[in-house]
Amino acid sequence: MSSDYDYSDEDADYYDDEDEDMMSTEEDGSAPSDDEMDMDDFRIPHRAIRKAYEVEHEPLAQSAVEKLMSADVDHISGIFGVEASTAALLLRYMNWNKERLIEKYMDNASGVSVAAGISLPSRKSLSPSLAGPERSQSASSSARSGGLRRPARQTPAPTPKLEPFVCPICYDDSQTAFSTLSCDHKFCAGCWSAYATSKIRDEGEHAIRCMAEGCALIAPDSFVRTALAEDTATWERFNELLARHFVAFNPSLKYCPYPSCTFTVMCSAAASKSSLTTAVPTVSCGASVNPPHTFCFGCPIEVDHRPVICGVAKMWLRKCRDDSETANWIKSNTKECAKCQSTIEKNGGCNHMTCKKCKHEFCWVCMGPWSEHGTAWYSCNRYDEKAGIDARDAQSKSRASLERYLHYYNRWANHEQSAKLSVELYTKTEKKMEEMQITSDLTWIEVQFMKKAVDEVEKCRMTLKWTYAMSYYLEKSNHKELFEDNQRDLEKAVEDLSELLESPIEMEAISTLRQKVTDKTVRVVIFGLYDYVRRAAGLIDLFVCYMTRCMSRSGMRSC
């Protein structure tokens, strides 16, 4: 089996790494004096190379996204020979799909321009299929034929007129500044501003259409900028909406989901659906916050569900939520009355059952009527008949699978629960850290080891939690045994560390405690989590095969 080979290769590789790590920590840790012991203890030896379980990703600030956007716009405007603002509208209309835009535009330039809201439809040369969002033409009686190379008027030029013009929206005759798109629907600056603000702020819309009824022209960016005048906040929001639109349609980009974070992450490795079956793209955005904004590029389930892949994490959660397990329980713990089909749970007593509902008397073992049992009181001698054996087998199989599920689920739920309590542990630890600073001569920086340890515990619990989902779906094999050995080691280390953190502090013991906690943290960091997740990543291939088989067997859709 070739995958076997790969795995052991990686394994050997891993042990090498570990040895190095061990040595380096021992060197660090061998410094006997407390004073020399500082944050270095916790530094994970930095490796330039990415680890196997990490995905390559690049955090982008909004300005960087805008740069990508304008690169696309410049590209298109260069090819078509149109102005940048026109190219931007075309791209937004085509959802940033350059190839499709080029194809369509080469095919029918005027049709695309009309559909994108750049030019007005000329009376005759319009193929209805490309008309897109174009609305009724009733209001555009003054429509000039939309010149293909004529972009929308860039600046809302105030048009002085001799006869007084009253804006048809506000009927305010004191207004003096008017502007119009290339459709000649003229409105006052105040209405344009109110309209654009309401579209951007209230509706989150980046396509600002002409206010006239039935007019499908879209205001170019420069027009919006002028309309918004001094309202820079709304202008910024407008740019954010544009960037979001761009990001939404680019599969290798994703917005950081944390509230009010404006960063974007580029992760080309996880752009395709198929890549999500072999890697868990846990990424973090570039915002300089602590803790960093970590999230999964592939799914919104949890920030870090390593080592299971997105599809499996989703499947596991669905399984936990489903009441399919309730049905499973009913199946393995109850039987149905042969006469009235009521569901009966036998919770004690002998095999002579009397249905509460229909008073039917039957034998729990063979399900036959009790009257046939004659004098064989309380021991059914019909037990070994074939039908009885089959029924019993089916039931015990179902019971075993339920137990298996519950085994993993309980552990999974346990870690979930502990993770929820970690907030509490955090505040408790903070208090302890303060206490330590007061009662001993340790400085603030020297007691940070507690916090580090809490962070590490939290991370490990998250991973441990998902390893149980993983082992539920793993087929029994040597790999699985290895996996579960690791899982056990990590679990033990985490529980030990947890216990140390929870234990009350004694004056004299602080330095010992510190030594211990540090050791444990390092142990978890180096032995446990990282290696562990990586090993798991090596298992994913195997795991996917199993999954596919499972799914095809149960007729589930691939995830």
Partner 1 sequence: MASISARRLRKELNEIHAEGCPCGIKLLNADNFETWFFSIEVLGESLYQGEVFKLMFRFDANYPISSPAVQFVVDQNIQAPIHPHVYSNGHICASILGTEWSPVLSVSAICVTLQSMLASSKAKERPVDNDRYVRTAPDNPKKTRFQYDDDTV
Residue number, 186 or 360, with CB nearest to partner 1: 186
Which residue in the set 65, 191, 279, 436 belongs to the binding site for partner 1 (CB under 8 A)?
A: 191
325's tokens: 């397990």
Q: Name the minimum Å distance from CB 187 to partner 1.
A: 8
Spatial distance between the Cα atoms of 53 and 533, rounded to a whole number of angstroms = 7
Q: Name the minimum Å distance from CB 140 to partner 1.
A: 12
- 275 - beta bridge partners? none
Residue number, 104 or 199, with CB nearest to partner 1: 199
Q: Name the minimum Å distance from CB 124 to partner 1.
A: 23
Cβ-in-10-Å burial (0-12, 13-18, 19+) of 275 comes to middle
Query: By C-alpha distance, which of 262, 267, 285, 316 is closest to 468?
Result: 316
465's tokens: 């939690």
Q: Which of residues 132-161 bind partner 1 (CB under 8 A)?
A: 135, 139
Which residue in the set 35, 163, 202, 323 belongs to the binding site for partner 1 (CB under 8 A)?
A: 202
Instruction: Tabulate helix, strand, coil % of the chain (nearest 5).
Output: 55, 5, 40
Segment near partner 1 (CB under 8 A), from 206-214, 238-246, 272-280, 505-513?
Answer: 206-214
Q: Name the minimum Å distance from CB 202 to partner 1.
A: 7
Query: By C-alpha distance, which of 143, 125, 211, 208 is closest to 182?
Result: 143
522's tokens: 């390092």
Which residue in the set 211, 271, 308, 493 belongs to the binding site for partner 1 (CB under 8 A)?
A: 211
Segment near partner 1 (CB under 8 A), from 87-95, 182-190, 312-320, 447-455?
Answer: 182-190
Is 270 in contact with 276 (CB distance < 8 Å)?
yes
Segment near partner 1 (CB under 8 A), from 193-201, 273-281, 297-305, 385-393?
Answer: 193-201
Q: Cβ contacts of residue 156 below 8 Å, gap of 6+?
A: 179, 180, 189, 192, 223, 226, 227
Segment near partner 1 (CB under 8 A), from 18-26, 212-220, 372-380, 513-521?
Answer: 212-220
Q: Is 102 in the site for partner 1 (CB under 8 A)?
A: no
Q: Is 267 in the site for partner 1 (CB under 8 A)?
A: no
Q: Is 204 in the site for partner 1 (CB under 8 A)?
A: no
Residue number, 107 or 213, with CB nearest to partner 1: 213
Q: Is 172 in the site for partner 1 (CB under 8 A)?
A: yes
Residue number, 25 or 179, with CB nearest to partner 1: 179
Q: Name the minimum Å distance from CB 218 to partner 1.
A: 14
The string of DSSP letters for 282-323 reads: EEE-S---SS--EEESS-SS-S--TTS-HHHHHHHHHHHHST
Spatial distance between the Cα atoms of 210 and 191, rounded to a whole number of angstroms = 11
Spatial distance between the Cα atoms of 85 and 87, rounded to a whole number of angstroms = 5
Query: By C-alpha distance, which of 140, 144, 122 is closest to 131?
Result: 122
Residue number, 200 or 442, with CB nearest to partner 1: 200
Q: Is 483 in the site for partner 1 (CB under 8 A)?
A: no
- 58 - beta bridge partners? 266
Q: Is 190 in the site for partner 1 (CB under 8 A)?
A: yes
Q: Is 93 in the site for partner 1 (CB under 8 A)?
A: no
Spatial distance between the Cα atoms of 542 and 144, rounded to a whole number of angstroms = 65
Residue number, 211 or 470, with CB nearest to partner 1: 211
Residue number, 188 or 270, with CB nearest to partner 1: 188
Residue number, 168 or 369, with CB nearest to partner 1: 168
Residue 340 annotated in active site: no
The one catalytic residue among 350, 358, 545, 550: 350
Segment near partner 1 (CB under 8 A), from 1-9, 63-71, 162-170, 338-346?
Answer: 162-170
Which residue in the set 141, 171, 427, 508 belongs to the binding site for partner 1 (CB under 8 A)?
A: 171
- In degrees rounded to 5, what are phi and psi of residue 336? -105, 140
Spatial distance between the Cα atoms of 414 and 422, rounded to a whole number of angstroms = 12
Q: Name the minimum Å distance from CB 320 to partner 1.
A: 29
Query: Secondary structure of 329-356 in the HEC alphabet?
Result: HHHHHEEECCCCCCEEECCCCCCEEECC
First and final C-alpha spacing in the chain? 26
Segment near partner 1 (CB under 8 A), from 211-219, 340-348, 424-432, 516-524?
Answer: 211-219
Q: Name the minimum Å distance from CB 120 to partner 1.
A: 16
Q: Is 460 in the site for partner 1 (CB under 8 A)?
A: no
CA dihedral 533, 538, 539, 542 (to 10 degrees): 160
Residue number, 214 or 291, with CB nearest to partner 1: 214
Q: Which of residues 367-406 bind partner 1 (CB under 8 A)?
A: none
Query: By C-alpha distance, which of 92, 94, 88 is closest to 70?
Result: 88
> How many residues interact with partner 1 (rule CB under 8 A)?
20
Q: Name the minimum Å distance from CB 190 to partner 1.
A: 8
- Active site residue ranges: 350
What residue ranges bind partner 1 (CB under 8 A)? 135, 139, 168-172, 185, 187, 190-191, 194-195, 198, 202, 211-215
